[in-house]
Amino acid sequence: MKEKINEAWALYTIESVGITQYNIFTKAGNYRWGKIYHANKYALLLSGSCELITEEAGTDNKQILSPKSGIIKIHSWIPNIFYFPEDCHMLEWFQSDCHIEKFEKYTKLKKNI
């Protein structure tokens, strides 16, 4: 297991059987990711709430997530970023060989907070 901890979040990564899993604790007031995954990504919110922002056809779509939302599928090639108005615990997973790239529009959003 790999561990990465900073002021905004604690990320624990597990790689097994071709799947990368993130176990993430994010503090309120932070954005996380701002990337494009070249494979489907899945998320499950275990505690707290967050806003998932995705861009499709040049339009930002916002979805409020809670533990009651169940497993969320973010389709491949869809830019996405999470905003956390409160402390959250989330699991995310995707194919280990998935190429990931920054989505500049959302990367800039993270820097404006």
Q: What confidence score (pLDDT) does residue 109 get?
A: 72
Residue recorded with tokens 């169940």: 70
Question: 19-33, pLDDT tens digit by residue?
Answer: 999 999 999 999 988
The reported pTM is: 0.90
Cα separation, 50 vs 91, in Å, equals 13
Q: Is 86 helix (H, G, I), strand (E, B) or coil?
A: coil
Q: For the chain, how many structural domains are there in total?
A: 1
Instruction: Tell me the sheet residues that pair with 32.
Output: 82
- Please tell me the distance from the alpha carbon of residue 9 to that of residue 12, in angstroms, as a whole number: 10
By residue range, what is the domain housing residue 73? 2-111
Q: What pLDDT, on a 0 to 100 scale, did the predictor assign at position 110?
A: 65
Q: What angle do CA 8, 12, 14 make, to 5 degrees?
A: 155
CATH number at residue 43: 2.60.120.10
What is the per-residue pLDDT across 43-77, written as a single tens digit (0 to 9) for each? Answer: 999 999 999 999 999 999 999 999 999 999 999 99
